[in-house]
Amino acid sequence: MRSLRIIFDDFMREIDLVERFTIKGKMLFMTDERDQYAVMMAYARIGEIAKQIPNDLLDTQPQIAWREIKGFRDVLLHRYFEINIERVWEAVEDLPNLRLAVEALSANVPADDEDNLHLM
């Protein structure tokens, strides 16, 4: 069982990776298949991580489209032939809002939540 603290640490790590892979901007991102692939993998992980967080906790940050983030993961992994790279970049542009929401969620989790909520 993974603690929420670990889950949020994983979430922030993936956000950091997306930022690192897209630092060169949209024009270079659109022509670099390696960065595109890396960002899509990070977003697949972000969607999976979001699925591990209880919905009532996610609901405290209603400005984020959590359902769409979870669904984006499914498209990236299972319907990859439908991927629109422009849509991936739109997610990148919204990354600062996601970071703020995850930081807010994480701030409410005790540093050691071993005796609190655990997820399977």
Say if residues 1 and 118 touch (Cβ distance below 8 Å): yes
List 78, 79, 87, 118, catalytic entry: 78
SS3 at position 115: coil
- Own/partner pairs, 77-85, CB within 8 angstroms, 24+ separation: 77/44, 83/40, 85/30, 85/36
- Does residue 118 have an active-site annotation? no
Catalytic residues: 73, 78
